[in-house]
């Protein structure tokens, strides 16, 4: 589960680019073809892929990440916002 202590130590642009590259690699398409507003489900991300991606994402954001992240925040932009918005 993600920590509520504040934003990730990675910038929004870095996190967005990592997610775009990760999905583009899975789909074997150029990163330019990835729409960051498109839901993960439309990319064909299944539960196994989602769990693998969230595990890798932990190393990027330096925090524990819930395996349900892509369902709770269903687009790249939503994930980026989740990890980079200031704590309330």
Tens-place pLDDT, residues 39-49:
999 998 888 88
d(CA 67, CA 55): 8
Query: Hey, what are 64's tokens?
Result: 């524990």
CATH superfamily of the domain spanning 12-84: ACP-like (1.10.1200.10)
Eight-class DSSP state of 10: S
pLDDT in tens, 57-73: 999 999 999 989 999 99
Integer Cα distance of 44 and 50 in angstroms:
10
Question: What is the percent of the chain with per-residue pLDDT over 90, rounded to a whole number?
Answer: 68
The CA-based dihedral angle spanning residues 39, 70, 35, 3, taken in that order and rounded to the nearest 10 degrees? 140
Average pLDDT, the chain: 88
């Amino acid at each position: 589960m993600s920590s509520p202590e504040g934003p990730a130590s990675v910038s929004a642009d870095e996190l967005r680019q990592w997610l775009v590259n990760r999905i583009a690699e899975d789909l074997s398409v150029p990163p330019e073809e990835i729409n960051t507003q498109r839901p993960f489900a439309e990319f064909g991300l299944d539960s196994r892929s989602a769990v693998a991606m969230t595990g890798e994402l932990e190393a990027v954001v330096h925090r524990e990440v819930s395996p349900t992240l892509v369902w709770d925040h269903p687009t790249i932009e939503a994930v980026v916002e989740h990890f980079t918005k200031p704590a309330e």
